[in-house]
Structure 1
Amino acid sequence: MFMPYLTPEGLVPWHHGVVMWTLRSANGDLYKVLVKELAQTLERQFSGNAEARAAGMVINTMGWVEGLGYEFLLHAIDTFNCDVVLVLGQEKLCSMLKNVLKSKPNVDVVKLHKSGGVVLRNQKVRQKATSFRIREYFYGLANDVSPHSNIVNFSDISVYQIGGGPQAPHSTLPIGAEPVADPTRVIAPSCSSRFICKGA
């Protein structure tokens, strides 16, 4: 979801989208929490702005549609209360979504055909494109911008990890029980001055 979005405080730049992009596989639970928070922020924006509410929104999701990526896609559809889902040239995905969403009569899944000559980008190409966009954000289109850096003593900073940490495998939980780990829990890992951190 690489787009700026509005909050009551103003426009949030798209590098927050970069953070969400990198979180998606590193901490899927936190990613879902952030997507939910984004949806709630947009809902507040819509409730106070009739034009925005009437216009709706377009959510451009990532191209990751297998496994956890598919789970994230379903989560986004549900969290943003989508009423139309456009699937571009992926017959299997379209069929899967229609099957899963058939219990939601207010959601239409529409398959769009790809233009001739369009090919799917593999994971390596997508990662390279993402890295390029992140670099472009910080260094500018013509490489004429430079991020500002400060040098500080290691003892003057604190390092925290959000979520993660050890979790009991599903197989060790009672039948029907779900893990209760908080994906937004803040952990202070033990770090050395060589920046080697070990999770709590």
Structure 2
Amino acid sequence: MSVTKADEKGIDHSVVKDFKLAKDNELRFEVETNQRVKLVLLDGSAELFGTELVHSRSYIFESGAKIAVFTWFGCSIRLTGKNEAAYVSKDTPMIIYLNTHAACEQMRKTADQEDIRGPRIMVVGPQDVGKSTVCRILLNYSVRMGRKTTLLDLDVGQGGVSIPGTVGALTVERPADPVDGFELKVPLVYHFGHTSPNGNIKLYETLISRLADVFNAKCDYNRLIKHSGCVINTCGWIKGQGYQCLLHAAQSFEADVVIVLDSERLYNDLKRDLPDFVNIILQPKSPGVVERPRDVRRDYRDSKIKEYFYGPRKIYFPHAFDVSFQDVELFKIGAPSLPDSCLPLGVEQEDTHTKLVPVTPGRDLVHHILSLSMAESLDENLIETNVAGFVVVTNVDVDNQVFSVLSPAPRPLPRRYFLIMDTRFIDINK
């Protein structure tokens, strides 16, 4: 892929630095705010989170990117542009991750020979320990061996398969692009609507069970996917109800390998509560992992939503159009519970956490993201039906009974049922 001068716009070419890496070393750097950095592999071999870099190709990273380039045999790298704290480190857990991959690959070979399911690997740990990165490394290594391993993303705060506020699955067939990540080809996505499981625990566990059922059915249908197994990325909420969600996920997906990053207490709790056949492994986080403040996490979520509509580097042009109130039906999942004192004597509280509540569009809908359900009628379970995509409401005209949306695809809408997210997105590009 050639890089044009337009692609290099925003790169400070007066800042150029070459790095010589010895074998088993790692180059780490962060791209400064409102800056871009170009990376070129001059000689030798190197990889970025498990993806091999191509010699002499330019890789351009955007503002805020946190990058770690590892070499097994030594290499030279040139960085062009302003970056924060670029340095080479010998202290890296990559050998540990490679050994983990080798053990999982042996399980896949056994699965091939005996026609049994491959390893189901769940990666757990607190916030900002590098769970998503470890998942990416393990997936990249497996597909480089010719596997079709499935990424199951339960981290509703970050959105590895789709936008934040969703859970989803993606069958990975080729290594991730060093800049743009995995090719999001036909992902399976379910609406959750919140950026933390505690937004609706009951709904979160329902979706985990649904995702597990769909993945098991796909394994029954496709042997290669069955033998390749899966990698499960989880949220960083590991205490109280968050811990119960981890146990529910491990049980639903029948995980047989659990990698615990940087939490000895979580490791011991899982050793106590999970069956003996589950291999529970405590591994260190990379010293290069950076803790992100709340505002940085919020900005990252906004950037993921923006990328959904405008593509990486704003290469897409989303559509804006009006939708009539009569053409669609809007629902919110979950309703407030009545106090026990308001219930008749002897009547038990109804579980309202997964109840569909019809919503009439109003001005308070502006900036909310809507998930377009694939359900063709209300006879289907909207909660457990995957979504076709998302729109964001930019205006509501109550007098004319229409609302305006930003959409990645032109009208007409393929379905009529929308689910409302708590997540909001203000489109500053309009």
TM-score range, shorter chain: 0.7 to 0.9
Correspondence for 2:307 among 127, 136, 143: 136
| Superposed CA offset, 1:155-184 (max 9, x none) | 55432122x1122569999xxxx9651544
1:159 maps to what in 2?
330
Identity %: 35
User: Quick one: structure 1 residues 192 and 125, their matched pair in 2 at CA, closer, same or farther if it must change by over 3 Å?
Assistant: closer
User: Structure 1 residue 186 and structure 2 residue 356: aligned?
Assistant: yes
After superposing on structure 2, the runs of 4+ consecutive aligned residues of structure 1 that deviate more than 4 Å are 17-21, 168-173
Tell me which protein shows more helix as a share of its residues: 1
Letter in 2 for 1:13: P
Alignment of 1:118-129 (within 5 A): 118-129=289-300
Task: Give SS of 2:321's match.
Answer: coil
Alignment of 1:13-32 (within 5 A): 13=187, 16=189, 19=192, 22=195, 24-32=197-205
Letter in 2 for 1:27: N
1:142 positional shift = 1.0
The CA RMSD measured in Å over matched residues stands at: 3.1
How far apart in 2 are the matches of 1:170 and 1:55? 49
1:107 maps to what in 2?
278
Counterpart contact for 1:138–1:145, Cα < 8 Å: yes
User: Quick one: structure 1 residues 123 and 98, their matched pair in 2 at CA, closer, same or farther if it must change by over 3 Å?
Assistant: farther
Correspondence for 2:249 among 55, 66, 76: 76
1:20 positional shift = 6.2
1:56 positional shift = 0.9
How far apart in 1 are the matches of 2:305 and 2:190? 10
Count of paired positions: 183
User: Structure 1 residue 5 and structure 2 residue 174: aligned?
Assistant: no
Counterpart contact for 2:190–2:207, Cα < 8 Å: no
2:215 maps to what in 1?
42
User: Structure 1 residue 61 and structure 2 residue 61: aligned?
Assistant: no
1:73 positional shift = 1.7
How far apart in 2 are the matches of 1:97 and 1:179? 32
Counterpart contact for 2:192–2:203, Cα < 8 Å: no
Letter in 2 for 1:32: E
Letter in 2 for 1:58: V
1:193 positional shift = 3.8
Task: Give SS of 2:313's match.
Answer: coil
Tell me which protein shows more strand as a share of its residues: 2
1:87 maps to what in 2?
260
Larger Rg: 2
Letter in 1 for 2:335: G
User: Quick one: structure 1 residues 171 and 61, their matched pair in 2 at CA, closer, same or farther if it must change by over 3 Å?
Assistant: farther
List gaps (5 residues or longer) in structure 1.
none
Task: Give SS of 2:291's match.
Answer: coil
User: Quick one: structure 1 residues 23 and 120, their matched pair in 2 at CA, closer, same or farther if it must change by over 3 Å?
Assistant: closer
User: Quick one: structure 1 residues 100 and 127, their matched pair in 2 at CA, closer, same or farther if it must change by over 3 Å?
Assistant: farther
1:121 positional shift = 3.2
- TM-score, normalised with respect to structure 2: 0.37
